[in-house]
With several copies, the nearest count.
Chain A
Amino acid sequence: MSEVSLLTKLKDAIVNLDFDGSKHLAQEALAKGIPPNEIITKAISSAMEEVGRKFEASEYFLSELIVAGEIGKEISQMLQPYMKDAEIKKIGKVVIGTVKGDLHDIGKNIFGMMLEAAGFEVIDLGNDVPAEAFVEAVKNHKPDIMGMSALLTVTMVEMENVIKELKKAGLREKVKVIIGGAPITEEYAKRIGADGYGKDAVVGVDICKAWIGKK
């Protein structure tokens, strides 16, 4: 099998959510000497893009996106020992968390998973994260992007507070801020001074990729 057709098969296996098949094909690719980096960009990343497209076209469910993301992540991890340090470098760093008072995290988790599959390093602060913890994380980890999520209207106001605290700490200009969650709208994001609004995880990841590309 040619390199190209092997990578295409791997990509298809991921798109079809075939975990075992993907694993075998990735091992085969490694055995054939295909550089891990190429496996990641030509098979895994493009599979994730395809799955994202299918989701946007209402052919795939969000839950299938998650499964694809998990397969992609596991295979990437499998490839890591075979990569040179320089190659492991992530395309960007993102700190994410659900704001104070909000105990719901499904949306944030999906976003984090998809960011990782897209090649980002993700630092997940978890749920019910107070403003200070966001500020601390930005100070210590120096991420390119900070993402906040809220599922409840009563907690979404906390986002504005976090941005204020970032400003006070003189960190607002050092990081792009993206927000998301059921009650959030484009207008709200603008009003509180966020840089972007991800109406779903796919859109959110696209925005992050665009920001990194421009840097």
Chain B
Amino acid sequence: MVLFSKLEIEKPSELIFGSAKHPLNYGFGLNVGKGEVIPEVKFFPRVFSDKDPEGFKTEVQTITRDILDRAVELGIPSLQIETELTFMETKNPRLAAEIASLQKWLMEKYFDEHGIKLGFRVTVADIRDFREGLRTTANYNLMMETFDAVSSNGADVLSIESEGGKDVFNHSIIRQDIEGIVFSILLASLDMGFIWKDIVNVARRNGCIAGGDTACAIANTAMKLAGGVKSMSLPHTLAAIVRAMSAARSLVAYEQGATGPGKDCGYENVILKAITGFPMSMEGKSSACAHSSLMGNIASACCDLWSNEQVENLMLFGGSAPQVFLEILHYDCKLMNRAIMLGKALELRDMLVLSDKYDDPQALVLSPDVAIEVANAIVSEYGDYYRRVKSACRKIVEILESSSPLRLSHAEARFLSHVKNIIDSLPDDGETFREQMCKTFTGKVPTFREKDYWP
């Protein structure tokens, strides 16, 4: 296990798009984090029946070819394609393998014919059924089989959006229950420790890269609930706090041996890039096709891959939606890469950062200086899953309270001081906390079982 006890990137000026301390080289000549931002395009197939694997294969093939054709038309030099397997595909390792090898074959063809550099990420769905338990169930084994199938059939990078702790989180977030949220992130960390050990083993066995995880089920749920600037569904400060805390959870993949590139929808990747020095995929403005956010520009400030998150294969006037979003990503990347070439990357980064930073607490978290502070708070408690979540929380609350010109409403300010009180009242050690929380949530959240996390 790798323990990150200090930051790999300590200076805010070095936490920047297109450059990571530990770049990666894989696929057909792709260099990630080595002075260039690369578009990572992701699609959602239009297949209306789960019972039609052949239709699925044809659809994925068409989409992949469309994407590669547009890339050639635009003269895109480097590209990553992500295939996020559906439940149906994940439950069918043979189908997943066929799809992966079909896509890889197409990529090889375009690399040979057009010289376009290509990387291929496959994200496996977390198909575990919380009612059955999280470890060593039939679904767990099937999921690992699928990791094995795709990594031995063309995937360059493996990822997952693992969902440990999600039931407790869902219960807690809509009640603003800080204790419950901290507990759910602790659970998520423990779960990741388990599954990422297995994923890293599969990746090593098949000579491919263990990418990273995302706190999608946690932090992005909070982001979506928080909604627009005027929405009062959830405090935006709470969404910001959850984001900061979730970095402590997503870090576990790298502790288990993952090396990046981290997965796009983990907005906490900025913090993780500071800690690990690994390249990261991010999404923001150009993933509006998948969900709205209040951090469209600042999300790109430190990315190495720049993603559209997910778009259904609909036809727009300008081509299929994956083609259209690839084109938009391409121009975003072109701008960043030109800035790098002109030696003005830092200036562009700061424009991107400042265009969002003070408009919403969630954006503030992604600012390189803030991310580094939170990263430090996390590594200062390295090795302790519980204490580092608390530490991230305390740090981000402190930052949010003192970040003018960020303007917080009366309700947000009231909520922040509530969080401070709760955090200060939590026990020092994880054992006590575990006991309290297991008592609280056993029964209350029907799918939660202590032994899924402490077997």
Binding site for B on A (CB under 8 A): 55, 58-64, 66-67, 70, 106, 109-110, 153-154, 185, 187
Give Cα A134 to B101, complex, Å.
41
Give Cα A61 to B58, complex, Å.
33
Report 26 cross-chain contacts, Cβ distance below 8 Å, ordered by A residue. A55-B232, A58-B230, A58-B232, A60-B232, A61-B232, A61-B234, A61-B411, A62-B174, A62-B232, A62-B233, A62-B234, A63-B173, A63-B174, A63-B176, A63-B225, A63-B234, A63-B235, A64-B176, A67-B176, A106-B174, A106-B225, A110-B174, A185-B65, A187-B58, A187-B61, A187-B62
Give Cα A153 to B323, complex, Å.
14
Number of cross-chain contacts by CB at 8 Å: 47
Minimal Cβ-Cβ distance residue in B for A200: B233
Give Cα A95 to B367, complex, Å.
47
User: Which B234-251 residues have C-beta < 8 A from chain A?
Assistant: 234-235, 238
Give Cα A178 to B315, complex, Å.
24
Q: Is there a chain A Cβ closer than 8 Å to B175's Cβ?
A: yes
User: Which B380-418 residues have C-beta < 8 A from chain A?
Assistant: 409-411, 415
User: Across the interface, which residues of A come within 8 angstroms of B175, CB to CB?
Assistant: 63, 66-67, 70
Give Cα A76 to B58, complex, Å.
45
Interface centre among B232, B235, B238 (most CB of A within 10 A): B232
A59 touching B410 by the CB < 8 A rule? Answer: yes
User: Across the interface, which residues of B come within 8 angstroms of A70, CB to CB?
Assistant: 175
What distance in Å separates the Cβ of A21 from its nearest Cβ neighbour in chain B?
A: 15
Binding site for A on B (CB under 8 A): 58, 61-62, 65, 170, 173-176, 225, 230, 232-235, 238, 315, 409-411, 415
A185-B62, A185-B65 are known contacts. Are A61 and B315 too (CB-CB below 8 A)?
no
Contact of B411 among A59, A67, A110, A187 (CB under 8 A): A59
Minimal Cβ-Cβ distance residue in B for A69: B175
Give Cα A135 to B315, complex, Å.
29
User: Across the interface, which residues of B come within 8 angstroms of A110, CB to CB?
Assistant: 174
A66 touching B411 by the CB < 8 A rule? Answer: no
User: Across the interface, which residues of B come within 8 angstroms of A58, CB to CB?
Assistant: 230, 232, 409, 411
Give Cα A135 to B61, complex, Å.
33
Give Cα A6 to B412, complex, Å.
30
What distance in Å separates the Cβ of A146 from its nearest Cβ neighbour in chain B?
A: 24
Give Cα A63 to B410, complex, Å.
16
What distance in Å separates the Cβ of A188 from its nearest Cβ neighbour in chain B?
A: 9
User: Across the interface, which residues of A come within 8 angstroms of B61, CB to CB?
Assistant: 187
User: Across the interface, which residues of A come within 8 angstroms of B232, CB to CB?
Assistant: 55, 58, 60-62
What distance in Å separates the Cβ of B69 from its nearest Cβ neighbour in chain A?
A: 10
B409 touching A61 by the CB < 8 A rule? Answer: no
> Known pairs A58-B230, A59-B411, A63-B225. 10 more at Cβ < 8 A?
A58-B411, A60-B232, A61-B234, A62-B232, A63-B174, A63-B234, A106-B174, A110-B174, A153-B315, A187-B58
User: Across the interface, which residues of B come within 8 angstroms of A109, CB to CB?
Assistant: 174
User: Across the interface, which residues of B come within 8 angstroms of A60, CB to CB?
Assistant: 232, 411
Give Cα A66 to B180, complex, Å.
15
A110-B174, A154-B315 are known contacts. Are A61 and B410 too (CB-CB below 8 A)?
no
B65 touching A61 by the CB < 8 A rule? Answer: no
What distance in Å separates the Cβ of A32 from its nearest Cβ neighbour in chain B?
A: 30
What distance in Å separates the Cβ of A174 from its nearest Cβ neighbour in chain B?
A: 30
Give Cα A187 to B170, complex, Å.
31
What distance in Å separates the Cβ of B222 from its nearest Cβ neighbour in chain A?
A: 10
User: Across the interface, which residues of A come within 8 angstroms of B173, CB to CB?
Assistant: 63
Sorted nearest first, the 8 A-B pairs with minimum C-beta distance are: A62-B233, A63-B176, A153-B315, A61-B232, A67-B175, A63-B234, A58-B232, A63-B174
Give Cα A154 to B65, complex, Å.
19
Give Cα A114 to B406, complex, Å.
33
What distance in Å separates the Cβ of B115 from its nearest Cβ neighbour in chain A?
A: 16
Give Cα A125 to B156, complex, Å.
44
Give Cα A185 to B230, complex, Å.
18
User: Across the interface, which residues of A come within 8 angstroms of B230, CB to CB?
Assistant: 58
Give Cα A129 to B411, complex, Å.
36
User: Across the interface, which residues of A come within 8 angstroms of B225, CB to CB?
Assistant: 63, 106
What distance in Å separates the Cβ of B367 from its nearest Cβ neighbour in chain A?
A: 24
What distance in Å separates the Cβ of A37 from its nearest Cβ neighbour in chain B?
A: 28
A55-B232, A106-B225 are known contacts. Are A61 and B62 too (CB-CB below 8 A)?
no
User: Across the interface, which residues of B come within 8 angstroms of A66, CB to CB?
Assistant: 174-175
Interface centre among A59, A63, A154 (most CB of B within 10 A): A63
User: Across the interface, which residues of A come within 8 angstroms of B409, CB to CB?
Assistant: 58
User: Across the interface, which residues of B come within 8 angstroms of A55, CB to CB?
Assistant: 232
What distance in Å separates the Cβ of A59 from its nearest Cβ neighbour in chain B?
A: 6
Contact of B415 among A61, A153, A154, A185 (CB under 8 A): A61
